[in-house]
Structure 1
Amino acid sequence: MDGFLVAFAVSFGVIFVAELGDKSQLMALTFATRFKALPVLVGITIATSVVHLVSVAVGYGLGASIPTGWISLVAAVAFLGFGAWTLRGDSLSDDEGRKAERTGGSAVIAASVAFFLAELGDKTMLATITLATQYGWFGVWLGSTLGMVVADALAIVVGRSLGRRLPEKLVSAGAAVLFFVFGGWLFAEAVPQVWGPDAWTRVAAAPDHHVVGWVALGLGALAVLTTLLVRWTAHRARGERSLGVSRAPGSPAWWARVLFLAAGVLGLGAPLLVAVDVIEPIALLSRPGLAVAGAGLVLLGFAVAAMSLLQLGTVWRRSSVEAGCAAAGDPAAARRPVLVTGGLYRRVRNPALTGLIVGCAGLLLMAPTPAGLLAGVLILVAVQIQARRVYETGLGDALGAEYTAYRTRTGRFLPRVRPPEPKPGMPSGPGNRTRVG
């Protein structure tokens, strides 16, 4: 009995301390912001029990031969999928909502699979294997399992508390970011295990500016084509709706289109010229780390642009029926613009243009050239014209006070950092301020 208590106490303490600040504890916090606490805790307990039972059963020798690198790669892909799922969001019917309240099966399965994959080869598994070589297997298994569950339960309490105090969309976005971080974390850990301890060194040394140029060209072309396809799909749902602005040669809309086209040609032409060795990248900015960061910005920026356009298309589709019904009494209803104020448009009036700026900045970092810098300048000028002289002018003329109120509480490209000043004669109390943040 004394041997069991010693094994239990030592294993509980070691694993509890090892779990504090570990990625698994952060995962528990993230899951708790999306699912109910009890199903998540059940999933963690199931996964931990199985992993730690395997740990004490196979011993250190067999445990060291488990291909944990490939398992980590699978887990990384799974977490990226979790992040995309969380970022996309879900909508439940009334019946589905009642079922979700009665059962937590999906949360148990999701947490069990995620924690099982994450714990294989993790330091807590290796610590459990080591403890099992010195103490009784049952005490080590029970103590290590409870130590990890208790540590993750603390994270769940924190996660649920944050979930009640923060806006739902902010919690979802934060959870998605954490899932992406976990996926990247697991991928970074898996690469040296699968391809050798110097894998990242070889990766950093392998690509020269020609390779980076081709990658930038391919990534940029894919991002632009995808965004244009999404834009075309979204605008098909617009129907007869129009901003009513002139698009004649020399008009702001015409100039914005010309500048966008010129920036696109230069932005994609720069990495092509680097790839075929016609021009050299700017030496100060030609760094592997900046190229990797640039690739991330390209993906992030064009993803934001595509999501913004998809949201526009969804709103246009939903409003088409209402416009058709109203057209009998108001022939202009089917042509009147619709103001989108939810999702990405809740705090920012032009999130698609913001994403475009970020994506182009990433492309510039991947292939830094004077042509790329000129493309960046043209993009900045084009989005300013498009936002100020096309969108804001057209929507302001068509929607009047409705758009003025929306414009007051939102930022043009980024969320407002402080409330707008009250108009003269308007009380400045908290009840008359627009909430921002």
Structure 2
Amino acid sequence: MDLSVVQGFSKSLAMTILSEIGDKTFFAAAILAMRHPRRLVLSGCLGALIVMTILSAVVGWAAPNLIPRKWTHHITTLLFLGFGLWSLWDAFNEGESEEFAEVEKELNADIKANGGQTRENNKDADDKKKQSRPFLTQFFSPILLKAFSITFFGEWGDKSQLATIGLAADENPLGVVLGGIIGQALCTTAAVLGGKSLATQISEKFVSLSGGVLFIVFGIQSFLSSVES
């Protein structure tokens, strides 16, 4: 395998795991999995993250063709350093499990707004409403679509998405996509299978510190490396 693919893969895998563990979408997947069938939640969340990873890598791959390579390299360096400092700031200024409580509150509010039902009621209602569902829900479970939309829009503009764009602009896009997808799969599967017990036992401070250090290391490495013409 090409060395550039391996380098992009390893960087993307490490960055994705440290960015996604303890992230809002990680907690959303954990909470949804406690209330709905795990396979549907996993399929929806992972599908959204794979689509987002590919889109981000495509944007990063196209950037050097639209902007001089020198500029994309410098922008990527600043992104890594900036995200590193941002993660370190979060580590020392945010309380443990605040993100989990915030996401749980938002999802509870959403359920109340839609007249929350039990899983059994949902199953009975699905059979009666199947014929009157919107187009997409004729082919996909509403739960899968809900998990997909919550994850996709939760990741849009997120730190991990921007970091993936920057990484794909500076590394082999194929390696970035492969590393990102595997990292997303590991994190999402852990969130869905582990549920609340895993989410509440994660040390958000440690994850933020580790992620911050990793981003800064990437930034320094990018700063010291030469720009390919």
What TM-score does the superposition give when structure 1 sets the normalisation length? Answer: 0.30
Contact 2:4–2:172 (8 Å) recurs in 1: yes
1:84 aligns with 2:112: yes
Q: In the alignment, does 2:166 pair up with 1:138?
A: no
Per-residue CA distance 1:133-191 (angstroms, 9 max, x = gap): 221111101211221221121111121879xxxxxxxxxxxxxxxxxxxxxxxxxxxxx
| Pair 6,106 (structure 1): closer, same or farther in 2 beyond 3 Å | same
Distance 2:141 2:122 in 1: 16
Q: Map of 1:302-341 to 2, 5 A cutoff?
A: none
Match of 2:94 in 1: none
Contact 1:79/1:114 (8 A) holds in 2: no
Counterpart residue type for residue 179 of structure 2: G
Instruction: Give the counterpart of 1:122 among 158, 177, 180.
Output: 158
**Contact persistence 1:55–1:128 (CA under 8 A):** yes
Higher relative contact order (Cα pairs below 8 Å, separated by 6+ residues):
2
* 2:9–2:179 CA contact under 8 A, matched in 1: yes
Q: Which amino acid in structure 2 is aligned with residue 7 of structure 1?
A: G
User: Which consecutive residues of structure 1, in runs of 5 or more, have no partner in the other structure?
Assistant: 65-77, 163-437
| Secondary structure in 2 matching 1:9 | helix
Change (3 A) 1:32 1:97: farther
Q: Is residue 36 of structure 2 the alignment partner of residue 35 of structure 1?
A: yes
Q: 1:50 to 1:81 in 2, by over 3 A?
A: farther
Structure 1 contact 43–111 (Cα < 8 Å) conserved: yes
Partner of 2:17: 16
C-alpha distance 147-87 of structure 1, shift in aligned 2 (>3 A)? farther
Could you report, residue by residue, the CA deviation over 1:355-386 in whole angstroms, capped at 9, with x for unpaired residues? xxxxxxxxxxxxxxxxxxxxxxxxxxxxxxxx
Letter matched to residue 41 of structure 1: L
Distance 2:109 2:173 in 1: 36
Q: Distance in 1 between matches of 2:108 and 2:148?
A: 16
- Cα 1:145/1:89, change in 2 over 3 Å: same
Cα shift at 1:11: 0.4
Distance 1:92 1:119, change over 3 A: closer
1:82 deviates by: 2.9
RMSD across aligned positions (CA) = 3.4
Confirm or deny: 8 A CA contact 2:16 2:183 kept in the other structure. Answer: yes
For residue 121 of structure 1, report the CA deviation from its aligned partner: 0.4
User: Which residues of 2 match residues 105-254 of structure 1 at below 5 A?
Assistant: 105-159=141-195
CA contact (8 A) 1:44 1:149 kept: no
- For residues 39 and 135 of structure 1, what CA distance do their matches in structure 2 show? 33
Change (3 A) 1:112 1:157: same
Secondary structure (helix, strand or coil) at the match of 1:133 reads: helix
Q: Which of the two has greater helix per residue?
A: 2
Counterpart amino acid of residue 116 in structure 2: R
Show the 5 A alignment for 1:273-288. Answer: none
Aligned to 1:51: 52
TM-score in terms of structure 2 length: 0.54
Residues 45 and 148 of structure 2 are in contact (CA less than 8 Å); yes or no, is this contact kept in structure 1? yes
> Does structure 1 retain, via aligned residues, the 8 Å contact 2:13–2:183?
yes
Identity between Structure 1 and Structure 2 (%):
28
Q: Is the 8 A contact 2:31 2:196 kept in 1?
A: no
CA contact (8 A) 1:18 1:124 kept: yes
> For the structure 1 residues 161 and 96, does the alpha-carbon distance in structure 2 shift closer, same or farther, using more than 3 Å as the test?
farther
Contact 1:36 1:104 in 2 (8 A): no
How many equivalent pairs are there?
A: 146
